[in-house]
Amino acid sequence: MSRLRTFIAVAVDRAIRGRLVSLQAALARSAEGVKWVEEENLHVTLLFLGDVDERDVTEVCRTVAKVCAAHEPFLLRVEGVGCFPQAKRPRTIWAGISSGTKELIALHAALEPALSELGCYRHEERQYTPHLTLGRVKHSDNGQALVSALQRHTDWVGGECEVAEILVMSSQLTPRGPIYGVLSTAELG
């Protein structure tokens, strides 16, 4: 029985990805020990499903399409930076979403029970917070330098794009990083 590492995502346009890469480069000058997300892999995750049986992937794609058809396209604005779980001990560096947050949360809330019903998703206790992961801190010899760099970029603006579709993605883990593939595209509205 074959399984696919699967997640539901929102893509951002090329211009925003370019600005995100420039931001990563600026932060990298102060942040050692960070594994930066490759440009082609930058996205907003709606839900991470984990390993899904290949036989269930078609039904996952149908379910996502059905849920998305009930939601209208919207504008997504990317701006600001921060980290999880806290500034004193950053583990994940992210770019924020300032416009489109309400719509992303609504999509997450609609997809979660539909995919849970299929047995392909387990509810997470933490609240969903829309963001784009820029990098993961593997080790930091100078965490304060990273925190200072993040504070210098709090007013960073990545731009705005229309979200008209949601992607069902696969993720193959490799020693060089994940390789993503689009399994299906679900139109909004």
Interval 40-90: pLDDT, tens: 999 999 999 999 999 999 999 999 999 999 999 999 999 999 988 877 778
Q: Biggest alpha carbon distance in the chain?
A: 49
* 130-145 tens-digit pLDDT: 999 999 988 766 667 8
Q: At what angle do helices 14-28 and 143-152 cross, to 10 degrees?
A: 140
For residues 60 and 162, what is the distance between their CA atoms, to the nearest angstrom?
24
* 1-46 tens-digit pLDDT: 688 999 999 999 999 999 999 999 999 988 788 899 999 999 999 9
Active site residue 131: yes
Active site residue 43: yes
Q: What is the mean pLDDT of the chain?
A: 91
Q: Are 83 and 46 in contact (CB under 8 A)?
A: no
Average pLDDT over every residue of 84-112 = 92
The H or E element that residue 119 is part of is none
Catalytic residue of the set 123, 131, 139, 153 = 131
As its CATH architecture, domain 3-187 has: Alpha-Beta Complex (3.90)
